[in-house]
Structure 1
Amino acid sequence: MDLNFTPDELAFRQQIHDWVAEHLPKEISSKVHQAQRLSRDDLQRWAKILGAQGWLGYGWPKQFGGPGWNAVQKHLFEEECALAGAPRIIPFGPVMVAPVIMAFGSAEQQQRFLPGIASGEVWWSQGYSEPGSGSDLASVKTRAERQGDKYIVNGQKTWTTLGQFGDWIFCLVRTDTSGKPQTGISFLLIDMKSPGVTVRPIIMLDGEHEVNEVFFDNVEVPAENLIGEENKGWTYAKHLLAHERTNIADVNRAKRELERLKRIAKSQGVYDDTRFRDQIALLEVDIVALEMMVLRVLSAEKSGKQSLDVAGLLKIRGSEIQQRYAELMMLAGGPLSVPFIHEAMEAGWQGDQALGGLWPGNAGECAPLSSTYFNLRKTTIYGGSNEVQRNIVSQTVLGA
């Protein structure tokens, strides 16, 4: 196993670095580096820029319109985008549902859905979790009944990230109740503009509208929108979840946020505190260890060896690291990281106008820290809670 990049890989990294530097809008990268709110237009603008280059589906094979990059090239692309301050690619279309359509969809479905995903024109949402069905997805209750050439869907999904922007949603639906729970689930693609679809916002602790409830009231869905076979959706769901959990690890964003943590610590005068810097050093060691784990997986994949199923392990470590850097940022900011002034955010982090338009102590970088901290508390829960992932790792990796 060789974890060093080859000259060709380093040349590829430089190519990506130069392209991103030229095409990433500065106003978007500035928002990302300062943890400012990204609008739908910001996210889709970058998606369309990547789509025009053929890189929004950067993990896709050439036969489906992707660049056909290997695992190492995909990693280097993700790293250069993250370090440059590019927004995360919204994964539901290009990273999650697209591989399912490629692997299990018909040729007609591939021709119908993949181009809109690749271009960034069509926004996809995920319909997995329900009230009472989170980590235990086999218990989903949203029902789809076949009536001739269509399904009638009734039920509810929750925690639907950015569902308010969605054009389409892929859903796990119950099509059979006679056998084991896993055997009666199907994978259905639903147009969110269909009559009977209602999206209701869930406002989070930080005041953001990031997640939603989605209700289906006698929604008619053409049977041609069923992926694969009826009642085989559990197989397709597991295929997708491996992509989601690896994506959650997001070691490249952790490397970028580590540098942001150091900037905040220095600006607030705590970087010279030996005990605080010890905590930063421990975090940095864990990020390097996570990166080594990712590179080991990539090395095995590159050499054609069968790598261990470590998606759950990557998710556990990556999500815990995200929470740790958010907490250390809060500690670095101290009392200045506590105020949450929504109007200040809308004004571009200008701070309390009663204080002359500046954040207390001129510490504008502290303004978003409470929002970031609250938001990242969810990372150890979504995509399968870490407690459940530890059970999976013990069974599949350790053989316990």
Structure 2
Amino acid sequence: MDIGWNSEDLAFRDEVRAFIDAELTDDLREAGRWMTSVYADHEASMAWQKKLHRRGWAAPAWPERYGGCEWGVVRRYIFAREMKLAGAPPLSPMGIGMCGPALIGHGTEKQKDYFLPRILTGEHFWCQGYSEPQAGSDLAKLAMRARRDGEDLVCSGTKIWTTHANVANWIFCLVRTGEFDRPQMGITFLLIPMDLPGITVQPIVMTSGEHIQNQIFFDEVRVPAANAVGAIDDGWTVAKYLLEFERGGNAYSPELQVRLNRLREIGNDNGLIDDALFAARLARAQIRVDTLETYEFMAMSEAAKGGRPGLSGSVMKILGTELSQHLTELALEAAGPYGMAFQPQAGMAGGPNHIASSDNEPAGPRTAAVAPLKYFNDRAGSIYAGSNEIQRNIIAKAQLGL
């Protein structure tokens, strides 16, 4: 596999850099550079999406006929890396990265014509209704009901840990529409407007003060049955397809490479890079990131030929999230004593922080103040989108026959 950049690749890289230089304002760079979670500040993310949409670059992997770029693996990687290098705020993955591919793969032409353009513009901002209080990694245990009543599905139940439900105007949900021997059957993938009567959003504020997660309650909410994606009772097929993209549809390595370079800069600034033990840990981390990058090139190359992420999505999710957690540990070590203080005002969270005070400047370097915020937030990386233990079970069963 040849992964060197040719002249066309380099010309595209320069085109991306020129666009970033012209459009990425200082406030947007701040929002991307000082993120403490996988989500950027909502307003900054939406502002950047509008600029990308005007350029035609909001959906790098979507087919051109649906408004996407239909770029190959090399261009998608170059684009992602340049965005990370510049500190651009990432777009919310719920619409372009998840609901969009599900519609492209399983939606009707009428659904695609209506929803896909609105996802691109940001007119529709999505959240994901999967997890319930008793159904997380074992998603087939979900209990939110949707009974058929004429042309509608009447939904009752609750969803939890729903990111950005407080600002979303649409949610894609898995609902129970039937009972079968296999719990995966009888589930329907349903698109629900968030302004319907009977929907209540309750915030979940973390001990860090951040409000990103929510619980949603549905009380006899009437949704047109035409909003089901795929067949009624066969939503598990759509959900599995979508989860492949959530777990491994995008590369982790561009961000990890950028974070490693920043770690070296911090180490140089405080002299830690001269510590043989710390330098050795950085070198080992670099080897692991380079290995993941090569694997991602192989997986995305297969996807570019028409394949799907499949098991590689689980592999990339495990390696990417655990490597990310390891880098937060190294960053915390590099922060030294400045990393011991809780200074939420130093970071840019994916939602409002109810205890951060903008009046207080962080003590010490901002990179050090952000290190513990990112460390604690990233503990969830090996849990969300299906815990890494579940991913290992999937690989063991499907690939090894265990």
TM-score, with structure 2 as normaliser: 0.91
**Could you say if the C-alpha distance between residues 341 and 68 of structure 1 is closer, same or farther in structure 2, counting changes exceeding 3 Å?**
closer
Q: How does 1:278-293 map to 2 (within 5 A)?
A: 278-293=280-295
* RMSD, aligned CA: 2.3
Q: Does structure 1 residue 235 correspond to structure 2 residue 234? A: no
Partner of 1:209: 211
Q: Equivalent residue of 1:182, what SS? A: coil
Which residue, 118, 121, 131 being the options, matches 1:119?
Answer: 121
Matched, 1:180 2:182: yes
Assess if the C-alpha contact under 8 Å between 2:249 and 2:309 holds in 1.
no
8 Å CA contact 2:346–2:370 kept in 1: the answer is: no
Distance 1:303 1:223 in 2: 34
> Is this contact kept in 2: 1:205–1:374, CA < 8 A?
no
Q: Deviations over 1:10-35 (max 9, x none)?
A: 32222222222222222211332233
CA separation of 1:396 and 1:345: change in aligned 2, threshold 3 A: closer
Name the counterpart of 1:99: 101
Further displaced range: 385-394 or 184-193: 385-394
Q: Report sequence identity in percent.
A: 38
User: Equivalent of 2:339, from 334, 337, 340?
Assistant: 337
Of the three residues 252, 255, 264, the one matched with 1:253 is 255
Aligned to 1:373: 375
Aligned to 2:2: 2
Distance 1:96 1:306 in 2: 14
Q: What does 1:343-354 correspond to in 2, within 5 Å?
A: none
Larger RCO: 1 or 2 (CA < 8 Å, sep 6+): 2
Which residue in the other structure is 2:352 paired with? none
Counterpart residue number, 2:353:
none
1:381-396 maps to which residues of 2 (within 5 A)?
381-396=383-398
Over 3 Å counting, the alpha-carbon distance change for 1:343 and 1:320 in structure 2 is closer
Question: What's 1:271 paired with?
Answer: 273
What residue in structure 2 maps to residue 23 of structure 1? 23
How many pairs align?
392
- 2:61: which partner in 1? 59
Give the Cα separation in 1 of the matches to 2:68 and 2:250: 22
Aligned to 1:311: 313
Preserved CA contact (<8 Å) 2:73 2:304: yes
2:322 corresponds in structure 1 to 320
Q: Displacement, 1:258?
A: 1.4
For residue 76 of structure 2, what is the aligned residue in structure 1? Answer: 74
Q: Is the 8 A contact 1:177 1:184 kept in 2?
A: yes
Provide the rounded CA distance (Å) in 1 between the counterparts of 2:247 and 2:372: 25
| C-alpha separation in 1, matches of 2:58 and 2:309 | 26
Q: SS state of the match for residue 172, structure 1?
A: strand
Deviation at 1:235, TM superposition (A): 0.3
Judged with a 3 Å threshold, the aligned counterparts in structure 2 of structure 1 residues 306 and 189 are, in CA distance, closer, same or farther, namely: closer
Provide structure 2 residue ranges, at least 5 long, that are not aligned to the other structure: 349-355
Match of 1:349 in 2: none
The one-letter code matched in structure 1 to 2:56 is G
- Structure 1 residue matching 2:132: 3-state secondary structure: coil
3-state secondary structure, aligned to 1:5: coil
Contact 2:345 2:360 in 1 (8 A): no
For residues 75 and 82 of structure 2, what CA distance do their matches in structure 1 show? 11
Question: Could you say if the C-alpha distance between residues 233 and 303 of structure 1 is closer, same or farther in structure 2, counting changes exceeding 3 Å?
Answer: closer
How far off is 1:294 after superposition? 0.7
Whole-Å separation in 2 of the counterparts to 1:307 and 1:215: 33
Give the structure-1-normalised TM-score: 0.91
Q: Which moved more, 1:310-319 or 1:214-223?
A: 214-223
Deviations 1:78-118 (A, max 9, x none): 12211211112211101101111112111211111111101
* Residue 357 (structure 1) shift: 5.6
Structure 1 residues without counterparts, runs of 5 or longer: 347-351
Secondary structure of 2:166's match?
Answer: helix
